[in-house]
Amino acid sequence: MTKIEIKNLTFNYDGENIFKDFSLTIDERKTAIIGQNGAGKTTLMKLLNGLLKPSEGEIFINGESSDGREVTDLAKTVGYVFQNPNDQIFKSRIIDEVMYGPLNLGETAVEAEKAARQALEKFDQLGLVEENPYDLSLAERKQIAIASVLAMETEIVIFDEPTIGQDFKGKQQLRSVIEDLRQTGKTVISILHDMDFVAENFERVIVLKEGQILADGTAGEVFSQEDVLREAGLELPHIAELSKVLGFPSLALNIADFLELAKQTK
Ligand SMILES: Nc1ncnc2c1ncn2[C@@H]1O[C@H](COP(=O)(O)OP(=O)(O)OP(=O)(O)O)[C@@H](O)[C@H]1O
Ligand SMILES: [Mg+2]
């Protein structure tokens, strides 16, 4: 089912077009957007949540045009976790930061605090609710930024590089957050530079370069296109690289794949 439809989008910051006559539909599949620095990934996501406005073309969210809708209105449906948490976080207490979104959507203080605590719990951050976000590490601030968006329970959740600075535990927590969102019928779109995380967690992968889509398919389909990866300046997931070096008949995208292919290759 189509959740987002981008139709003939053109956008520029005040110069050259970043997107020209660009069209894309997003459905319920967990979707990863990948591509080199400057490919236009963040710009595209900011266009989806209304922080930026198309110069031409139209964006439909659940069938409704976002033309003329304010960011605050769109924020009820589209949650966006900023690439840099410092651009998002503005309160001096974590609990206030995470409650801000739900309060803004009209929830009572009790409801907002409950939603905030539930979101923070997903990252084991409940012990920190009274702290100042700026006393935390970048990785923890990123988790606070993610929790702030989760607490709003929007139908569409966009993550801009959520794995930044995350250690193994942080990535595991993120993995279950993303899967839970999918299981509860939310649409997840994420920009990522971590190809291992992409291969393991996303059903659809879109490769962007200079405002154009170079490839769009399952992780298996996209990572098998060596020419596309070269052109987009992307690397293979480590496990896929290893399966290639070992001469397996197809690319492994996770450990289960790898073991299965290893058995076949014996
Ligand atoms: N506020 C801005 N004003 C002018 N140009 C901008 C602005 N933000 C981004 N750009 C330019 O637009 C292009 C796309 O940038 P964007 O941030 O969307 O890329 P990205 O794919 O998210 O890159 P990264 O992986 O580095 O985050 C780049 O050339 C960038 O320099
Ligand atoms: Mg970016």
Given the DSSP bridges, would you call strands 4-12 and 78-81 parallel, antiparallel or unpaired?
Answer: unpaired
Beta partners for residue 206, in sequence order: 33, 216
| 21 C-alpha to ligand 1 centroid (Å) | 18
Residues 80 and 208 in one domain: yes
Residues 210 and 241 in one domain: no
CATH of the domain at 127: 3.40.50.300
Among the bound ligands, the one closest to the CA of 208: 1
Residues 159 and 187 in one domain: yes
Residues 228 and 102 in one domain: yes
CB atoms < 10 A from the CB of 20, how many? 17
Residues comprising the chain, all counted: 266
Residues 19 and 108 in one domain: yes
Residues 258 and 148 in one domain: no
pTM metric for this prediction: 0.96
Total tally of structural domains belonging to the chain: 2
Residues 157 and 256 in one domain: no
What is the token pair recorded at 56? 């031409």
Report the distance separating Cα 21 and Cα 214, nearest Å: 15
37 lines ligand 1 (CB under 6 A): yes
Per-residue H/E/C for the chain? CCCEEEEEEEEECCCCEEEEEEEEEECCCCEEEECCCCCCHHHHHHHHCCCCCCCEEEEEECCEECCCCCHHHHCCCEEEECCCHHHHCCCCCHHHHHHHHHHHCCCCHHHHHHHHHHHHHCCCCHHHCCCCHHHCCHHHHHHHHHHHHHCCCCCEEEEECCCCCCCHHHHHHHHHHHHHHHHCCCEEEEECCCHHHHHHHCCEEEEEECCEEEEEECHHHHHCCHHHHHHHCCCCCHHHHHHHHCCCCCCCCCHHHHHHHHHHHC
Report the distance separating Cα 161 and Cα 246, nearest Å: 31
Top mutation candidate among 16, 22, 41 for ligand 1, by most atoms within 8 Å of CB: 41
Residues 212 and 256 in one domain: no
Tens of pLDDT along the chain (266 residues) come to 889 999 999 999 988 899 999 999 999 999 999 999 999 999 999 999 999 999 999 999 999 999 999 999 999 999 999 999 999 999 999 999 999 999 999 999 999 999 999 999 999 999 889 999 999 999 999 999 999 999 999 999 999 999 999 999 999 999 999 999 999 999 999 999 999 999 999 999 999 999 999 999 999 999 999 999 999 999 999 999 999 999 999 999 999 999 999 998 87
Residues 65 and 118 in one domain: yes
Residues 155 and 103 in one domain: yes
Residues 153 and 102 in one domain: yes
The Cα diameter of the chain in Å comes to: 61
13 lines ligand 1 (CB under 6 A): yes
Top mutation candidate among 36, 43, 210 for ligand 1, by most atoms within 8 Å of CB: 43
Evaluate whether 232 touches 207 at the Cβ level (below 8 Å).
yes
Range of the domain at 188: 4-234
Residue type, 131: E
CB atoms < 10 A from the CB of 22, how many? 23
35 lines ligand 1 (CB under 6 A): yes
Residues 230 and 240 in one domain: no
| 17 C-alpha to ligand 1 centroid (Å) | 11
What is the token pair recorded at 204? 């659809």
38 lines ligand 1 (CB under 6 A): yes
CA distance from start to end of the chain: 42
| 57 C-alpha to ligand 2 centroid (Å) | 22
